[in-house]
Amino acid sequence: MNLAVFHGSPRKGNTYRATGIFLDELKKQEDVKLTEFFLPDALPVFCTGCQLCLGGPRERCPHTRYVEPILQAILEADALLFTTPHHGACSMSAGMKSLLDHLDFLTMNVTPRGELFRMKAFILTTATGSAAAIGPIRSYLKNWGVNRVDALGIRMFTDKWDKMPEKKRTGLERKLRKRARRFYALAPGRAPVSAVFMYHMSKMILRKYVGEEAYPYQYWKERGYFDKRPF
- What's the whole-number mean pLDDT along residues 78-100? 88
Residue 138 has pLDDT above 80, yes or no: yes
Q: For residue 165, what are the β-bridge partners? A: none
Question: What domains does the chain contain, in order, with CATH numbers?
Answer: 2-189 (3.40.50.360)
For residue 123, is pLDDT > 70? yes
For residue 100, pLDDT over 80 is answered with yes
Residue 89 clears pLDDT 70, i.e. is over it = no
User: Can you tell me whether residue 218 is helix, strand or coil?
Assistant: helix
- Determine phi and psi for 95, rounding to 5 degrees: -65, -40
pLDDT in tens, 167-206: 888 999 999 999 999 999 988 777 778 788 889 999 999 9
The pLDDT, as a whole number, for residue 67 is 97
Those residues with Cβ within 8 angstroms of residue 159's Cβ, 6 or more apart along the chain or in another chain = 14
Evaluate the CA torsion angle 122, 127, 131, 137 in order and state its sign.
Answer: negative
- Contact in structure between 143 and 116 (CB atoms under 8 Å): no
Question: Which string of DSSP letters, residue by residue, matches 72-128?
Answer: HHHHH-SEEEEEEE--TTS-S-HHHHHHHHHTGGGSTTS---GGGGG-EEEEEEEST
